[in-house]
Amino acid sequence: MSQVHVHTKINGDTTEFLCEADEPLLDVLRDRLGLTGAKEGCGTGDCGACSVMVDDRLVCSCLVLGAEAEGRTIETIEGMADGEKLHPLQQKFLDHAALQCGICTPGFLVAAKALLDHNPDPTETEVRYWLAGNLCRCTGYDKIVRAVMDTAAEMRGA
């Protein structure tokens, strides 16, 4: 099968890749570009472990084709920290012990950042519904929700 040539910007870097026409963006990121921070928990859009931003939209990268990334901007977990400085969400996840095994964590962080970017003052219910597409089997979500609420408060300067 002939491959598709795709031009994107990923975490600020101009990136080109070849992929098969039916290849999910998640596979491109993980297998072709070595960006293994996004995880595959299901491959069917049900777990959110593969969450990334495509042009400011939160998506499951397992449901987007690599070819669809043509001309778009992609942000992954690898681009969340500012050099050595963790994003406040990353730091709060550590402070609150909001991860146990950590496989779901990249997806939660990307999704939570998308929430706070458009709603800096979410209620607990809003956090819970926004994150309902991200599965975590270890924590029972309690500490994740607390970490997100606490980050929001800190970023608002509250």
Partner 1 sequence: MLDKTAENGEFKVIGTRPERPDGVDKVTGRARFGADMVMPGMLIGKVLRSPHAHANIKSIDTSAAEALEGVKAVITAADFTADVPEAEYDTMVNCIAHGKALYDGHGVAAVAATSRSIANKALKLIKVEYEVLPHVTDVEEACKDDAPLLHDNIFTEGLEETPTTPSNISGRVQFGHGDVDEGFAAADKVVERKFRTEATHQGYIEPHACVGNLSPDGTGELWCCTQGHFMVRNSCAAILGLDISRLRVTASEIGGGFGGKTTIFIEPLALALSRKAGRPVKLVMSRDEVFRATGPTSSASMWIKIGAKNDGTITAMEGLLKYQGGAFKGSWVSLGCMTAFACYRADHMKTVGYDVLVNRPRAAAYRAPGAPMAAFAVESVVTELAGELGRDPLEFRLQNAAKEGDQSSYGPKHRAHGLMETLEQAKAHDHYNAPLGPNQGRGVACGFWFNFGGQTSTSLNIGADGTVNVSVGTVDVGGSRASMCLMVAEELGVPYEKVRCVVADTSSLGHNDITDGSRTTFSSGMALILSARDAKQKLCARAAKIWEIPEDAVEWVDGHARPAGPNAGEFDPMSLAEVAGKAETTGGPIAGHHECNARGAGVSFATHMVDTEVDPETGRVTVLRYTVFQDAGKAIHPAYVEGQFQGGAVQGIGWAINEEYIYGEDGRLQNAGFLDYRIPVASDLPMIDTVIIETPNKGHPYGVRGVGETSIVPPMAAIANSVSAAAGVRLTELPMSPPRVLKAMDDAKA
- Which residues of this protein are in contact with ligand FES, per CB under 6 A? 40-43, 45-50, 60, 62, 99-104, 136-139
CB of 10 to ligand FES, least distance (A): 18
Going residue by residue from 1 to 40, which x/- string records binding to partner 1, judged by CB under 8 A? Answer: x------------------x------x--x---xxxxxxx
Q: 26: closest CA among 65, 73, 74?
A: 65
Contacts for 16 with CB less than 8 Å, ≥ 6 apart: 5, 6, 7, 8
Q: Where are the beta strands (DSSP E) in 61-156?
A: 73-75
Could you say which of ligand FES, partner 1, none residue 95 binds, taking C-beta under 5 to 8 angstroms by partner kind? partner 1
Q: Which of 57, 118, 137, 156 binds partner 1 (CB under 8 A)?
A: 137
Q: Which of 28, 64, 69, 99 binds partner 1 (CB under 8 A)?
A: 99
Q: Which of 33, 49, 59, 64 binds partner 1 (CB under 8 A)?
A: 49
CB of 98 to ligand FES, least distance (A): 8
Report whether 25 contacts 66 (CB < 8 A). Answer: yes
Q: Going by DSSP bridges, is the β-strand pair 57-60/51-54 parallel, antiparallel, or unpaired?
A: antiparallel
Residues between 56 and 75 that touch partner 1 (CB under 8 A): none
Contacts for 119 with CB less than 8 Å, ≥ 6 apart: 126
CB of 61 to ligand FES, least distance (A): 6
Give bridge partners of residue 74 from the DSSP assignment.
10, 54
- Interacting span for partner 1 (CB under 8 A) from 2-10, 53-61, 65-73, 122-130: 122-130
**For ligand FES, which is the closer residue by CB, 102 or 120?**
102
Q: 79: closest CA among 148, 11, 2, 7?
A: 11
Tokens of 11: 């975490």
